[in-house]
Structure formats: C-alpha cells, structure tokens
Amino acid sequence: MLTLPKGYRYAAGYAGIRKVERDDVGLIVSERAAEAAGAFTTNVVQAAPVKLARKHLEQTGGKAQAIVVNAGNANCATRTGAAAARETVKAAAKALGIPASRVLPASTGVIGVEMEAARIVKILPELAKGLSPDRFEDVARAMMTTDTVIKTASQEVELAGGVVRVAGMTKGSGMIHPNMATTLGFVMTDASIEAKHLRPMLRAGVERSYNRLTVDGDMSTNDTMVLMANGASGVTPSRAERDVVAELVGWVMEDLAEQIARDGEGARKLIVVRVLGARDEAAAVRIARAIGNSPLVKTAVAGSDPNWGRILSAAGASGVEFDPRKVDIDLQRVAVCRGGVAAEFSEAEMKKKLDAEECRIRFTIRGGGTGQARFWSCDLTEKYIEINASYRT
C-alpha cells in the first residue's frame, strides 16, 4: 500500500505516441508551486525535454508545479525536438493555468524519430480535467516502456511538526547504467523544504540508488530524476529533521532502483552485490559495479552456475588493486571461495539455491579497509536479446 504525499494530483491517457493502445502520457501536478531539484543524464547526446527541464529549473531557481511525461518516443536526435518539447509544455501550462516555466517535460522511448507533439497537446486539456490524487499508479504505468510491472515506492515519518510523506515512481528496464541519475524517476514529498536543500538530498539519494544499478551498462539520452517538495503537509522539517527526510528519499530511491533491476529486460533474477573490505567506498563501488556489469557473471547467474571464478575475474578487472589471496566470495550466503581459491561446497546444492529469484553475491577482502557498497543488477537471459533485437519492430 502506497502512502501518498498530500497536495499532488495525477492523470494519464493515450495520445497515440506508442503504437499499442496503452496510456503513453502522464501528468503529475502539485496544487501549489513546489520546490524542486533535478538530476539529468550526463550523455553528451541529450534529448530535447532534458534540455528544457534543466532550463526551466534554472529559470525558476528550483520551482516546479507539473511534470508531463510520455513514453513511446524519446524526442531525442530529432529535427523538431526542441519545438515539440516547448509545445507540449506550453499546452500543459495552459491546461493547468500555470506558467510554462513551472512545467518539466520528460520523454522515453525510441531515439531519432520525430515526435508528433500535437498528439500530446490534443489530450492535455482532458488529462487536466481528469487529475486525481488517486491516479499515482496510472502515471507510473503510462511511462513504462519494456517494463513488465509498474515501479512505485513510498515512506512516511512523523516529525515534530507532524507527518510527512515521500512517494516515487520510476520506469526502465533496459539502457540502465550505473554512473548517473538513470532512467526517469519522480519523487514527491509534502514536506516543506527549499530547493537549495532538495538538491543535496537528490544527489545523495541518486548516489546510493540509481548510481548503483546496472542492467546492461548502457546510458540513456533521456535520464531525468526530479524531486519535488510542495509543503502541503504543513510541516517544515528542522535542520536535523531534514536528514531524516533525506534518508526517506534515499529509501524510496533504493526501493525504486531495486525494482528496476528486478524488472531488468529479460531478467528472471535480481542480483544484489555487496562488497566489503575495500580501501574506501569508491573502490567498493568500482568492484561491485564490475561484478554487476559482467555479462559472464550475469549469464552464470541465469544458468544457476556457481561460477565464482568469473566473479573474481570481473573484480580483478575493475581497476582496483587487491590481493586475490585475501578474497572470500559467498553466493546465497554459502562460502564458495575462501582466500582466493575454491571453498568446499556442494555444487548440486548451490545450483538449487541459485534457482531462487534473488542472487546474493558477497565479495569480501579480508583485512582490507572499511569501504563497502551495495549494487543491484540482474541476470542476463535469452529474453534480453529477444526484446532488444526487435524493439522497434
């Protein structure tokens, strides 16, 4: 059961951007202008909506009141992309009666195909009329691409001034790369927090969640993560309480990130990598990422093969120095490697344990430093190929 923050309304509808008739446009609206922070793709190829959303946040100094999101077309590498994003935003602003600069656009889908903004423009008045506090999941569903399930998460906490809530939604199961604010994600809170405090909160949240996630090592042109705070709870967290809200935001983002990995394109299994005993956190993340990104590790997990040698090899190729003779590896909490060589374990039993829906890999450097990290990935199956070899057809 989701606990939704107060003062937000949602709507979704089908504009005909995607071929199959399934909602492809979503609208998130705050009843008042909210404080807002954004994190965007670091790809040098950036979609038009990414550029426009960033520009709006700069113009307003961190205010936003609506997000208009579409699936089916990334509006990237197109002739008319900038105009299409502007028209969409303008139409949303008009339908909602707010300044265009308070509307943040986001798109996901195929790259390099001109987007027919008119289709979205046409249904926006209707969407504005259909806005409801209960349609949170409809927006999460409208922005799905190859996702098989919607991805939402929420948290609440009682502060001195009352209860505040945080809820988020995200999409994505392919083109997921750890090194950035990946995919689309929108997190809303009803706490009252200034944009200047939201920004570090968003950065820290992304660092511990979306930046520790991989499905296929590919980096999107459209990644957008927005954090909004509209103050509708009437609660302004104290300085110390802001850390609590930041923690909640982090939890929601971790929850969303894990859901993305679990729904990775073609994935049957979630992989959770934990690295302990690295020199520092950065080194731990590098090792964890190398393990989580390795196609050989991911296929071994798909085949329930306790092939820990591939884990060791992937870690060894991460660029982090360590002594292989001090490495312990556990799979599903069973010791499979001790001191860099095979531990005694039953291969048949391990295979059975690896048939589970979650694969837990622990990589420990004995007597190393205090650096540790968690990282999410998924197994790599024939289905990934099937999905991606025919994405557009």
Q: Tell me which residues touch a second copy (CB under 8 A).
A: 42-46, 74, 76-79, 110-114, 174-175, 177, 216-221, 293-296, 299-300, 302-303, 305, 307-310, 312-317, 320-322, 324, 337, 340-342, 380-382, 384-386, 388-393
Nearest approach in angstroms of CB 197 to a second copy is: 30
Nearest approach in angstroms of CB 147 to a second copy is: 16
Residue 324 makes CB contacts below 8 A (sequence gap 6+) with 312, 316, 340
Quote the CA–CA distance of 180 and 203 in Å, as a whole number.
Answer: 10
Nearest approach in angstroms of CB 172 to a second copy is: 13
Residue 39 has which token pair?
């994190």
Nearest approach in angstroms of CB 143 to a second copy is: 18
CB closer to a second copy, 236 vs 388 = 388
Nearest approach in angstroms of CB 88 to a second copy is: 19
CB closer to a second copy, 99 vs 309 = 309
What does the chain come to in residues?
393
Residue 201 has which token pair?
């909160």
To the query of whether residue 42 is one of the catalytic residues in this protein, the response is no
Q: How far are the Cα atoms of 217, 289, 297, 310, 330 from residue 292, in angstroms, in the given order?
A: 9, 5, 7, 11, 15
Nearest approach in angstroms of CB 29 to a second copy is: 30
Helix/strand/coil percentages in the chain, nearest 5:
35, 30, 35
Burial class (CB within 10 angstroms; exposed 0-12, middle 13-18, buried 19+) of 160: exposed
Q: Which of 89, 87, 235, 101 is nearest to 161 (CA)?
A: 235
CB closer to a second copy, 318 vs 372 = 318
Q: Active-site residue among 182, 183, 189, 381? A: 182
CB closer to a second copy, 236 vs 313 = 313
Please give the helix or strand (H or E) that residue 302 lies within, else none: helix 295-302
Residue 285 has which token pair?
């993340």
Q: End-to-end distance of the chain based on CA atoms, in angstroms?
A: 36
Quote the CA–CA distance of 167 and 137 in Å, as a whole number.
Answer: 11
Task: Give DSSP secondary structure letters for 327-372.
Answer: EEEEETTEEEEETTEEPP--HHHHHHHTTSSEEEEEEEETT--SEE
CB closer to a second copy, 226 vs 302 = 302
CB closer to a second copy, 233 vs 293 = 293
Quote the CA–CA distance of 25 and 143 in Å, as a whole number.
Answer: 7
Residues acting as catalytic residues = 182
